[in-house]
Amino acid sequence: MSAFSSPNLGHRRLLAVLIVLAISVLITAGASAQFVPPVPVPPANPITPQKAVLGKILFWDQQLSSDHSTACGTCHLTEFGGADPVFGLHPGADGAFGSPDDIHGSIGVVRRDPVGIPISDPVFGFTPQVTDRAAPNFFGGLWDPESLWDGRGSSRFDDPITGVNLIPVGGALESQSLGPILNTVEMAKDARSWASVTSHLAGTKPLALATAIPPDMTAAIAANPTYPDLFNAAFGTPDISPARIAFALATYERTLVADQTPWDVSMTGAATGPGLTPNQQAGWNFFQTSPCSGCHAPPLFSSGRFASIGLRDINDDIGRELVTGLPFDRGHFKIPTLRNVGLKSTFMHTGEFLTLGDVVRFYQPGAPRFFANLSPGVPVAIPTPAEGPLIDFLQNGLTDPRVASASFPFDRPTLYVPEVSMVQQIRVGSLCLAMLVVARKRKGASLL
């Protein structure tokens, strides 16, 4: 039997029950809107309930990181639009804090040597490191042929151990899922290997550090209390490998289709919630006739392309050129989806804007920008009367209420942040500060 085949005969009864339940959920919750196209699924990695719930467990398990502080979901909280509400400061290309090229990135892990002992990082010392780009919306690119800001999440997915090609085309989610696990800023100690990751998982109790675990995850762990058991249920044998981890994580992400926004309700007529208000409709009317809709094309509200909008000097971060090697792509970054953008707390790959009003004003003619390698269509003239309705449309008209409330399938466990060292206290303090900023922003208070 292939390592990626369906479960063995002993699991068929459970599989049948789970499939019936999954289909009933899809019929009940997904009959709402068929306006978005189906999520493309590579034939080598078909969606199964067991694989999806395994991916969900892995995504939210902090034990996947070397120091047990960080899960994939730590920087991709669903109720914040699949992005990170917490941001730290990265010094940017010049290496100096407090200069114009600083980045609002995600807080990662403390630098550790291969044994796991904290060591001083040249930039961050013994404090948690910070990523040099803001965390993107993790379920916003389910349809994209390439993922991540620069597209290095390739459509082709090869086995990280053997180099054998597993997915020729359509494996961007698989490709991007494994990077953070070995990244020494995001989740890993120095020189972390896949052998250490898989052997650790084999002896780890799933979600041992989490609380308030959703019912589907609780039931899966009750039926299969170890990771080898969960992998056996999903793949037919208990072997844990990076390729299987990628297959599970990508499968989970493909179940997160946020297609019940007020815009979807208005477009489809499905009675899943309120449609656009008159003010949001006015914003949509402007949006669809403006250059905005060229890059952020409905119904996905992203073209999946890459562009330079003049945000930073293109030499500070060459973006897409890192992947293609083409000078034309210098300073170009993935055009993100606008679905659930109103839930985010920072915007752009630099994280430098804190409100959608800031974003809209940046696109106006006359706003400061760099013009080298600028993409066509920028800037965008937005008449003053259109600003308010446009922001309302983006903020609220494109927000799926299930995402905002972290309801199934966007539910998640509560992550555990230990407070037994100064490093961990810094992490908690950063979280509290960022949550305060987000809360104040949502109430309309000044951030100053």
Query: What share of the chain has pLDDT > 70, as a percent?
Result: 85
Mean pLDDT is lowest, of 6-10, 56-60, 77-81, 281-285, for 6-10
Give the pLDDT of residue 416: 87
* Average pLDDT estimate for 181-191: 98
Give the per-residue pLDDT at 209: 96
Report the pLDDT value the prediction gives residue 216, as an integer from 0 to 100. 98
Percent of the chain with pLDDT over 90: 82
User: Fold for domain 262-399?
Assistant: Cytochrome Bc1 Complex; Chain D, domain 2 (1.10.760)
Q: Which of 149-158, 183-192, 246-255, 418-427 has the lowest mean pLDDT?
A: 418-427
- Where are the chain's structural domains? 9-88+110-258, 262-399
In this predicted structure, what is the pLDDT of residue 348?
A: 96
The pLDDT value given to residue 141: 84
- What is the average pLDDT value for the chain, to the nearest integer? 87
pLDDT at 80: 94
Asked whether this chain's domains 9-88+110-258 and 262-399 adopt the same fold, the reply is yes
Distance CA 304, CA 144 (A): 5
- How big is the chain by its Cα radius of gyration, in Å? 22
- Predicted model pTM: 0.86
Mean pLDDT along residues 224-228: 98
Element (H or E) spanning 439, and its range?
helix 422-442
Q: What is the pLDDT of residue 28?
A: 34
CA proximity to 59, closest of 44, 74, 42: 74
Backbone angles phi, psi at 371, to 5 degrees: -100, -5
Structure letter (DSSP) for residue 42: -
- Token pair for 366: 């006359």
Return phi, psi of residue 390, to 5°.
Answer: -65, -45
User: The domain at 9-88+110-258 falls in which architecture?
Assistant: Orthogonal Bundle (1.10)
- Write out pLDDT tens, residues 10-31: 443 333 333 333 433 333 333 3
Question: Residue 418: which pLDDT band, with cuts at 50, 70 and 90?
Answer: low
Kindly state the average pLDDT of the residues 229-251.
Answer: 98
Region 400-412 average pLDDT: 97
Is pLDDT at 434 greater than 80 in this prediction? Answer: no
* Whole-number Å distance between alpha carbons of 224 and 219: 8
Query: Poorest-confidence range of 277-286, 347-356, 435-444?
Result: 435-444
Structure tokens that stand for 180 in this block = 């953070």
pLDDT for the residue numbered 429: 36
